Structure 1
Amino acid sequence: MTGPETTTRPGPAATAPWTLLSGAVKGVAKRYSQDRSAALSVAGGRAIVLAVADGHGSAAHFRSDLGARWAVEEFTTCASTFAYEVVRVGDDAAGWTALREEARRLPQQVGHRWHRRTLLHESNSPARGDRRLRAAARTGPAERPEPPDLAAYGSTLIGAVLTEHMLFCWQLGDGDIVLVDDGGAPHTPLSTGPDMGDETDSLCEPEPWRKMRSHWQPFTGGAPPCVLLSTDGLSKSFADHQGFLDFATGLGERAAEQGVAAVQAQLPDWLGRAAKFSGDDTTLVGAISVPPQRSDER
């Protein structure tokens, strides 16, 4: 179900040549979701920006819903500006080198903006009381105050910028990006292999951009018909990774056969069942290319 758990407006949103898909459900035993997401078109519909963030949600990360929200907001701000440049360059290969350099700088821009926003909130409302004042009372004013602990806001982040000519995507921590090609084959360009449990990289760490993985892919035969981003609550609901990939392929096939509106209508039920198996918040956003015969369903 969509709603407070996601920043994306419910229902499929049309943008040539893609339709946007979004859905989110909270974990079965959770009071509220720690996931946040966004799916939007920019540059007159010539580019798509997708993002999902998963707040860690444990007792040590009790403000991670804020961290996830700010992660999505800061990423979409930076990525939207970048998307305009990607559209401007288009298929001019001479400009791709500069784009790749900008793409490499984007994680640091997002990280700085997220840290600055989190530090402002922390300075006004310390998560664990004013530790610096307590430390000064114990050791005296000559002691250097310890740096703020931002673990309470910890969150992962996955984002993508898609145009008809290329895809840029970035990932910090767990979750999945899946591209489904014209033949229905799924690709996971930023997959890290087997799940390593609950440990994951986080925006709350010092210089998190150094751990952010990235992928750049130009399209010579056209953009993939299906690009999906999801938090790890979805992939964890399957017995193995192949089951998750089969789900992504099946979603793309249903969109081609039935239209994206039909898939959007069924998505809350699918994600709800996934959340029951994983026990975790489950969020998915995507961009799907709609065949001309299905355009009336958008």
Structure 2
Amino acid sequence: MSGTGTPTVAWELLDGGVKGVAKKFSQDRGRALVTAGGRAVVLAVADGHGSRAHFRSEMGARWAVETFTSCAQVYAREAVRRGEDAANLPRLLAEARTLPQQVVHAWRRRVLIQEANSPAHGGNTTASTTPSTASSGTAGSAAGTVPEPDPAVYGSTLIGVVLTERLLVCWQLGDGDIVLVDEDGTTRMPLHTGPDMGDETESLCESEAWRKARLHWQPLTGGGPPPGVLISTDGLSKSFADHEGFLAFASGVRSGAASHGVAAVQAQLADWLGHAAKYSGDDATLAGAFPAIGRGPARPGPDNDDTH
């Protein structure tokens, strides 16, 4: 399968984010784009931890989205090229399982470059070729006290999705939410693990963080359209009184897009997220994609360019 024909499914995208009430700036980042010649979508959201120990986490969240997007576009092109043949699915699954390690290594390289140029804890530090684990930044050396690169300063969660006509793959490290929404409004959360337990969460800054990433792998072979996908940082779901209210919101986003168009929903998204942020007090960021059957490629422009 070459994946070079005319797409039969177009993708309509949502993306937006707001900062939490009383926060100086948002620690979240998000992105939604069409890739692989219009045949695939890549979604990503990241939530920098934002506490005093993670005082550069907005940078970590930005790098999380950038590194995931870069790696996921390569994977998306392969999923489109090979995904029509069921014999290729085991190999695509194996590659999906290795993608978190690629992302973590790329993210840590960004940390090391930043630390080499502007150490978070002051002083001068030399970037090594091996990513460092989180440290207190007080290690000594024969030449004096030289801070070690401290990934914890940049700590962030990450949720990412690749969606094609034939395949849905979701990855999650840390908190946040993935909701799949069918045409009839039915919702499901493939990687939901239950209520949050306090503020502790998995993070990109942990040693071998890729081992804690969760994977949802779903070949789309039922003959119907792919599901809509919404991903969001936890500031959105925390604004609802209960889990059912959050799922009703997700279903309403899909029905609103069907009734009034995705552009109309996008125009209201900042207001909806701002309302949520008033209740949760946290940053709220959402990215989503809905299939639009038979409308041709979505969003012409730079985001469809596979070269970046």
TM over 0.5: yes
Offset, 1:116: 1.1
Matched, 1:127 2:131: no
Secondary structure (helix, strand or coil) at the match of 2:38 reads coil
TM-score normalised by the chain length of structure 2: 0.85
Three-state SS of the structure 2 residue aligned to 1:290 is strand
Cα pair distance change 1:135/1:209, threshold 3 Å: closer
Greater relative contact order structure (CA < 8 Å, 6+ sep): 2
Q: What letter matches 2:33 in structure 1?
A: L
Does the Cα contact within 8 Å between 2:30 and 2:45 map onto a contact in 1? yes
Paired residues of 2:15 and 2:287 also in contact (CA < 8 A) = yes
- What is aligned with 2:190? 189
- Mark the runs of 5 or more structure 2 residues left unpaired by the alignment: 1-7, 126-136, 301-308
2:174 corresponds in structure 1 to 173
Aligned partner (choices 61, 67, 84) of residue 91 of structure 1: 84
Contact kept, 8 Å, 2:9 with 2:294, in 1: the verdict is no
In the alignment, the residues of structure 1 paired with residue 251 and residue 47 of structure 2 have an alpha-carbon distance, to the nearest angstrom, of 23
Picking from 257, 262, 274, the partner of 1:272 is 274
* Residues 1:287 and 2:289 aligned together: yes
Shift of 1:119: 1.3
Give the whole-Å Cα distance in 2 for the aligned partners of 1:72 and 1:240.
28
Within a 5 Å distance, the mapping from 1:192-271 to structure 2 comes to 192-221=193-222, 222-271=224-273
Match of 1:228, as an amino acid?
A: L
Deviation at 1:148? 2.9
Write the deviation string for residues 203-245 of structure 1: whole angstroms up to 9, x where unpaired. Answer: 0111110000011001122343411010000000001111101
CA apart distance, 1:180:
0.6
Matched, 1:136 2:129: no
Task: Report the AA paired with residue 204 of structure 2.
Answer: L
Distance 2:227 2:201 in 1: 30
Aligned-partner Cα distance in 1 for 2:200–2:138 = 30
Please, what is the CA RMSD of the aligned residues?
2.4
The amino acid across from 1:68 in the alignment is A
The one-letter amino acid of 1:158's match is I
- 1:18-42 CA distance string (max 9 Å, x none): 1011111111111111111111111
The match for 2:130 is none
| Aligned residue-pair number | 279
User: What residue is the counterpart of 2:60 in the other structure?
Assistant: 67
Question: 1:134 Cα shift?
Answer: 6.4
Aligned to 2:134: none
TM-score (norm: length of structure 1): 0.88
1:163, 1:223 within 8 Å by CA — same for their partners in 2?
A: no
Structure 2: which amino acid aligns with 1:280? D
1:182-218 per-residue CA deviation (whole Å, 9 max, x = no partner) reads 3311111111111111111000111110000011001
**Structure 2: which amino acid aligns with 1:66?**
M
For 2:38 and 2:12, the matched residues in 1 are separated by: 10
User: Per-residue displacement from partner, 1:251-292 (whole Å, max 9, x unpaired)?
Assistant: 111111111111111111111100000011100010012367
